[in-house]
Structure 1
Amino acid sequence: METTHALQVGDKAPAFTMPASGGRTVDSAALKGKPFVLYFYPKADTPGCTKEACGFNEALQAFDHAGLTVIGVSRDPVKKLDAFATKYGLTFPLASDEAGHVTEAYGVWVEKSMYGRTYMGIERTTFLVDAKGHIAHIWPKVKVTGHVEDVLAQARTLCGAG
């Protein structure tokens, strides 16, 4: 009997609707028939999250060319995401999952520890979802350096643009 709720490659990606930066809404139903990248990050405007977001933003044209939408997700409120997007010129949607339903559905809300203190937080994870709404690739416990390039290479393979 499986005790973990961890998603696996091939699973149907959990549905979502979230408010996002720039007055947008991201909705999995609106993405039906289109592949997308959903990346979860712990907190806007922190060093690792900024480096990751800027990396995705710099590669946005290549993702667009491969036919993919990129969406970043954290539990930050939209107001903070708008400030983050403005500060770094981020043009893709940064979605707010303040209630935590999406981070929990994707299994990225986990117990973490730092300096001997245990707390709940987002594990930096990226999901590549195919045009049929199934998970094509998962990057758990992401290390930021080189990550965007890995995702783009996998996306190109998925979309036949490589």
Structure 2
Amino acid sequence: MSPTVISRPAADSVLLRELEKSQKGSRGVERRLLQSTKGGIQSTTTMQYTCLIYLDEKKFYSLSKDEQNQIHKECGEWHEELVKTGKSPRGSALQPGATARTFRLQDGKVVMTDGPFAETKEVLGGFDTLECDSFDEVLQIAAKFPGLKAGGAMEVRPHIEGSCEAV
């Protein structure tokens, strides 16, 4: 799909409509992104994905402080490159799993428990939202995540836009 260029005078009137337009793609959600260009606003189609970053806290915290800091540094550089190239509008590391609280409905009552939802070795350590032109592109980016070297894992999921409905 070739980009559509909208003239500056028309841009104000169509900006909101263009941002609200979306189409479901076969591999994820396509979004209209408006980017400033010299001659107007350029509209391109991308898909959004969330990359869920998991880590084995026991394994990670058994690394030396220098090794932990090196992984944090490399992950920060990886994320900053994605921000700089316009691929990541947001992302964040999360505090340790012990700080989590999980809510469930049991017998009609809301019950809060300390810690993550499931008893597993891996806990959610962070996330990144990526805007990519294809599923293959997001997979290539995820494969370069530095946290994998420390035993981490990254789960990539396409976004659903609009309401969720059973099919």
Give the TM-score normalised by structure 2. 0.29
TM-score by length of 1: 0.30
The structure that is strand-richer by fraction is 2
Larger Rg: 2
